[in-house]
Amino acid sequence: MKPIDAIADATAEMTAFRRDLHAHPELCFQEFRTAERVAAQLTEWGIPVYRGLGGTGVVGILRHGSSTRAIGLRADMDALPMTEHNQFAHASTHPGRMHACGHDGHTAMLLAAARYMALQRNFDGTVYLIFQPAEEGGGGARAMMQDGLFERFPMDAVFGMHNWPGLPEGDFAVCEGPCMASSNEFRIKIRGKGSHAALPHNGIDPVLIACQMVQAFQSIITRNKKPVDAAVLSVTMIHTGEATNVVPDDCVVQGTVRTFTLDVLDMIEARMRQIAEHTVAAFGAECDFEFQRNYPPTINHAHEARFVRQVMQDVAGEARTHVFEPTMGAEDFSYFLLEKPGAYFVIGNGDGDHRATGHGLGPCTLHNPNYDFNDTLLPLGATFWVRLAETWLKPI
């Protein structure tokens, strides 16, 4: 893929901006410095800016021509609450905070595209540049919508792009329908009756009950769910006890559930509640069952996904355009797709060979302390954003 010349010429500037963001990561709804930098760049290029949507969100507005058509392009801005292991010059300067998912690169790519489109205006309509806070668990997309994103900035469709380690550098992938799962958490507190461990008949053992419950939960996946429906039910924490010779009073079981459809999610939650309540009842105990639904599944609209795929083929070629394999990871772009047509797609980040001296010894995968965004993608991703917007808003 050959990037647009004017965008390629600014690669060094884009890289410096991206690395500055990487060195100064900010967590969800705390992206004050990042938002300030984004807004300042847009303003410098003559792009009207609206700030404060969803707390720290920024929306840039590019208009040209007479068409009422409009498109939304989204980049996320927040970092993760984890300590970086890399030691290169642009490593995080804030212990416990790291851009380990590439949101610094996503922001830089969309800014580079905005700069080019502001100069060229080779489209007829409106491009809304959505710089979103709090993707990493904060639900920033939902917060922006609650603040009136789609009412204040009416758009026909919205698109999001994410880098994808393991996919060859600069390749693209998209799929129709579900591409990422819903994200949900459960917490079950089993209330038994403590006793001396040598006299267990005097108590009601919550640990034994928890073991029975965890085993039974897997029957939901193997016996209640259709084999063709994808779902994950993982118990990831069991907290109980303080001494080896004491049967504890209670036990807390926690974990996550991921599905591609709300029907399957409804079934899993209902069956988990039934199993939990009936299991404790069978042993003479009680429980508090909590099930928290976080992000819904990310489901691409067919027409928009096909449109993205065609732009990918036009820009990168058919050989570098792939069908994205759905993942059980989650993404709050899903909220946007519940309200507007659109598609979520990925650009290949490579296998980590781009990392300079000083990177950690581990793999360059998302949410890993050794990750770093591949700066080679900056002009490629920016070029793709430009071509997508120009194609959607092609003068009639």
Contact 84, 115 (CB under 8 A): no
pLDDT of residue 353: 85
In sequence order, the β-bridge partners of residue 233 are 257
Residues whose CB is less than 8 angstroms from the CB of residue 5 and which lie 6 or more positions away in sequence, other chains included: none
Query: What CATH code would you report for 5-181+296-392?
Result: 3.40.630.10
d(CA 141, CA 136): 11
Q: Which residues of 292-324 are buried (b: 16+ CB within 10 A; e: fewer)?
A: eeebbbbbbbeebbebbbebbeebbeeebbbeb
Closest CA to 265 of 230, 290, 289: 230
Contacts of 43 (CB under 8 A, 6+ apart): 49
Mean pLDDT of the chain: 97
Tell me the one-letter amino acid at 199: L
**How far apart are the C-alpha atoms of 281 and 278, rounded to whole Å?**
5
Average pLDDT of adjacent 10-residue blocks, the chain of 396 residues: 96 98 98 98 98 98 97 98 96 98 98 98 98 97 98 98 97 98 98 98 98 98 96 98 98 98 97 98 98 97 98 97 97 98 97 85 92 97 98 94
Per-residue CA distances from 357 to 25, 342, 363 (Å): 21, 39, 14
pLDDT tens per residue, range 113-151: 999 999 999 999 999 999 999 999 999 999 999 999 999
Q: What are the boundaries of each domain within the chain?
A: 5-181+296-392, 184-293
What is the rounded distance in angstroms from the CA atom of residue 302 to the CA atom of residue 120? 30
Over residues 35-49, the pLDDT tens digits come to: 999 999 999 999 999
**Are the beta carbons of 149 and 161 closer than 8 angstroms?**
no
Domain spanning 184-293 has what CATH number? 3.30.70.360
Task: Report pLDDT digits (tens) over 192-241.
Answer: 999 999 999 999 999 999 999 999 999 999 999 999 999 999 999 999 99
